[in-house]
Amino acid sequence: MSSGLRLFLRQKKAVAGFIIIAALCLTALLAPVLAPGDPAQRVGRSHQPPTAEHVFGTTKMGRDVYSQFVWGARPSLAVGFATGLAITALGTAIGLIAGYFGGRTDAVLDLTTNAVLVIPNIPLLILLASFAGTVGPMAIMAIIALTSWPWGARMTRAQTLSLKSREFVVAARMVGEPWWRIVFVEILPNLVPLIGINLVGSIIYAIVAQTTLEYLGFGDPLNVTWGTMLYNAQNSSAIIVGAWWDIGAPAIGIAIVGLGLALLNFTFDEIANPQLRSGPALSRWLRLNRLRARELRAAP
Amino acid sequence: MRIPLRRLGVYLAAFLFAIVVNFTLPRLMPGSPVDSMIAQLGPRATPAAIEAIKARFGAVEQPIWLQFIDYLKGLATFDLGVSVKYYPQTVTEVLARSAGWTAFLVVTAVIFSLCVGVSLGAVAAWRRGGRFDAFVSPFSVVLIAVPPVIIALATLFAFGVTLRWFPVGYAYDPSLDPGINFTFFGSVFWHAIMPVLTLSPYMIGEFQTTMRSSMISVLGEDYVTMGRAKGLGDRAVMFSYAARNAMLPVMTNLALMLGAVFGGSIVTEIVFNYPGLGLTLFTASVARDYPVIQGQLLLMTMATLGANLLVDILYGVVDPRVQEGRT
């Protein structure tokens, strides 16, 4: 077993997060088995509370919430992960180019990065989405990716800048390695932990943004996703009439994805920056600290 | 007081970017937004209104750079065009009506979360590895990862509909006349509780995380050891020595987060039917009222830039090293 994997398995939080995400992905993949039939089909009366037949109840339109939840996991997770990947790829590429090439390239890219960073994202997203009209998952992906790469780019640029002056990179340049080899073989592997953090953070952000857009009605209402489920439930005033299951199912789904990703992210952060670590290794430090405090207090 | 020119350049670029996006998008659209807006106006579509919309969205025979100059001239005089939904009101009027409520919500939520998040972060760092830290710190990361929509809906369901503790809509009791008296302020406060509690978790999570990591590195500094060596108590070292210095990164983070906070306020206002910018933006987007949507982006960009500038200035005051380093 590699040391990275062992380090990962020792972190209970990371394992819990991983299990949550894996279980949800499995649910999405196995949708045809777990909930056969069309989720958009009318199967019962309007807003029925959970029963044995419809375990999550029914929507205002008499659709099975469980079936919608299971099928809705597919586009929700797929768009979230794909968008997260796109954001990370864009951010890493721009950060790497800016950091490695420096000079005027860097000046322009860094200015762009910082400028896009301070523009409020969600209002910009809403503007783009409303001009695009009702948009499919691909358009949502593109819009989110194009507005949210700067965080990753900034982190990557800073790290690349510090790596560029390290001896192994200087040596590679002196040996005459071409720029692409230095970037991809010498620098990129050292950015892997950073890219991991960036990826998980971007997926979290993508899911938040996607849910917000779909909740506001910019998604395709015929496409069953967790976000459009929320939108439809809101439109049928599910909360006011007390149909908590209608809003609860997609809301809990999204919250659990957030929980799983957050647990993973927390661990990645701790692995990449050991200073932030909490947990068994630190209890000794804490005990010493307490002891010292007590002694200080006891001393007159 | 000196703000580095480079930062000003960034803000200028961001502002220009927002303007250019606003200017180009409608002109790039395949189906003309002008027609849909005129259709939206219906019987109110006087020739003057149609002219105004056409000029704004590029359906005129004029070179593009002249249109852009006209557009900039309009912006310089706060002329953001006319609203389609609320015609003949101008966008500026529509936005001015609701901006105050959003500002009130956001500022209250920021102050509240700053107090809670910073204290939680400071204590978590102080007792690093303890039970408090082991629970609060991962929980903060979870708070950042849950979309505000979910928190808003859960709050509405729990405290608004089931327990009926707080009112579920409007900024104050509609039967009251707005005025400077205790009943009115009480009503405003009462109606703001749920929206503020919805906006706060994300910020508390962010502040806690930033404060904790910055506090951990500050705790290793010599001046903290010095404070200890002088025999100061825990509380004095923690607040007067460590926490004050650890606040700096929190301030930077606050300015950068504002965009996300505005995003959260949009959703929160929609869920709680709160008459702020978010609700206006929502009704505008449903009615495809493009001028209002565009004005909204400009206003929120300006607010974020203003906040960033303010933080830059404050940073120089609070941390003199920054100024020295930059001159």
Residue pair B198/B269 in contact by the 8 Å Cβ criterion: no
DSSP letter for A63, please.
B
Give yes or no for residue A299 having a pLDDT over 70.
no
Within the 219-238 window of chain B, which residues sit less than 8 Å (CB to CB) from chain A? Answer: 228, 231, 233-234
Rounded-to-integer distance, Cα B32 and Cα B122, Å: 54
- Choose the closest CB to B142 out of A128, A129, A258: A258
Do A296 and B228 lie within an 8 Å CB cutoff? yes
d(CA B224, CA B246): 12
Within 8 A by CB and 6+ apart from B75, the residues are B19, B298
Alpha helices in B29-171 (DSSP H): 33-41, 47-56, 64-76, 91-126, 131-145, 148-155
For residue A274, the chain B residue with the least C-alpha distance is B213
One DSSP character per residue, B75-104 reads HHTT---B-STTTTSBHHHHHHHHHHHHHH
CA distance A33 to A35: 6
Contact B259 A120 (CB under 8 A): yes
Which pLDDT does position B323 carry in this prediction?
A: 59
For chain B, first and last CA: distance in Å? 11
Pair of tokens at residue A278 = 């909490």
Contact criterion met (CB < 8 Å) for A296 and B153? no
Distance from C-alpha of A292 to C-alpha of B126, rounded to nearest angstrom: 13
A221 touches chain B (CB under 8 A): no
**Pick from B261, B294, B185: which is nearest to A127 by CA?**
B294
Tell me how far CA of residue A2 lies from CA of A7, A8, A218, B114, B189, in angstroms.
Answer: 9, 10, 45, 42, 57
For residue A181, the distance in angstroms to the closest alpha carbon of chain B comes to 32
Q: Which of residues 61-80 of B touch A (CB under 8 A)?
A: none
Q: Does B267 touch chain A (CB under 8 A)?
A: yes
B134 in A contact zone (CB under 8 Å)? yes
Three-state SS at A269 = helix
Q: Do A130 and B267 touch (CB under 8 A)?
A: no
Q: Does A44 touch chain B (CB under 8 A)?
A: no
Instruction: Select from B200, B206, B207, B203 the least CA-distant residue to B118.
Output: B207
> Residue A203 half-sphere exposure, CB side, CA atoms within 13 Å?
22
* Mean confidence (pLDDT) of chain A: 83
Which residues does residue A58 pair with via DSSP β-bridges, in sequence order? Answer: A64
Question: Which residue from B136, B143, B322 is spatially nearest to B212, judged by alpha carbons?
Answer: B136
| Model confidence pLDDT, tens digit, residues B67-115 | 788 888 888 887 777 777 777 788 888 888 888 899 999 999 999 999 9
pTM over 0.90: no
**pLDDT for position A285:** 57
The yes-or-no verdict on residue A210 having pLDDT over 80 is yes
CA B29 to chain centre: 28
Position A155 pLDDT exceeds 80 = yes
Which segment of A153-157, A171-175, A212-216, A282-286 scores lowest on mean pLDDT?
A282-286
> What is the pLDDT at residue B187?
82
Cβ–Cβ below 8 Å for B14 and A261: no
Residues of B in contact with A129 (CB under 8 A): 285
Cα B44 to Cα B28: distance, rounded to the nearest angstrom: 27
Task: Name chain A contacts of B259, Cβ cutoff 8 Å.
Answer: 118-123
Beta bridge partners of B82: B90
Q: How confident is the model at residue A87 (pLDDT cuts 50, 70, 90)?
A: very high
Separation of alpha carbons B175 and A153, rounded Å: 51
**Interface predicted TM-score (ipTM) of this complex, two decimals:** 0.81
The DSSP-derived string for A184-240 is: IIIIGGGGHHHHHHHHHHHHHHHHHHHHHHHHTT-S-TTS--HHHHHHHHHHTTTTT
For B5, half-sphere exposure in the C-beta direction (CA atoms, 13 angstrom radius) is 1
Q: Provide the CA B147 distance to its chain's centre, in angstroms.
A: 15
Q: Per-residue confidence of chain B (327 residues) as pLDDT tens digits?
A: 456 677 788 888 888 888 888 888 777 765 566 777 777 777 777 777 777 777 766 666 677 787 788 888 888 887 777 777 777 788 888 888 888 899 999 999 999 999 999 999 999 998 888 888 888 988 888 888 888 888 888 888 888 788 888 887 777 777 777 777 777 788 888 888 899 999 999 999 999 999 998 998 888 888 888 888 888 888 888 888 888 888 888 988 888 888 888 888 988 998 888 888 988 888 888 887 888 888 888 888 888 888 888 888 887 777 777 655 443
Question: Which B positions 162-221 lie with beta carbon below 8 A of chain A?
Answer: 168, 212-213, 216-217
CA angle B314, B75, B36 (to 5 degrees): 125
3-state secondary structure of B314: helix
From chain B, pick out residues whose CB is under 8 angstroms from the CB of A119.
14, 17-18, 259, 301, 304
- The answer to whether the beta carbons of residues B301 and A119 sit under 8 Å apart is yes
Q: How many CB atoms lie within 10 A of CB A271?
A: 18
What span, in angstroms and rounded, lies between the C-alpha atoms of B168 and B157? 9
Q: Which residues share a beta bridge with A8?
A: none
A237 at interface of B, judged by CB pairs closer than 8 A: no
Q: Using CB atoms, which residue from A119, A215, A285 is nearest to B267?
A: A215
Question: What is the number of residues in chain B?
Answer: 327
Question: Cβ distance A219 to A225 under 8 Å?
Answer: yes
At residue A7, the pLDDT reads 67
The per-residue pLDDT for range B278-300, each reduced to its tens digit, is 888 888 888 878 888 888 888 88
Specify whether the CB–CB gap between B285 and A126 falls below 8 A.
yes
Q: Under an 8 A CB cutoff, do A120 and B300 touch?
A: yes
If DSSP codes are grouped into helix, strand and coil, which group holds residue A42? Answer: strand
Q: How far apart are CA B235 and CA A67, in angstroms?
A: 55
- Kindly report which listed range (A45-49, A121-125, B37-41, B115-119) carries the lowest average pLDDT score: B37-41
Which residue in the set B11, B21, B153 is minimally distant from A251, CB to CB?
B153
Pick from B241, B2, B146: nearest CA to A252:
B146
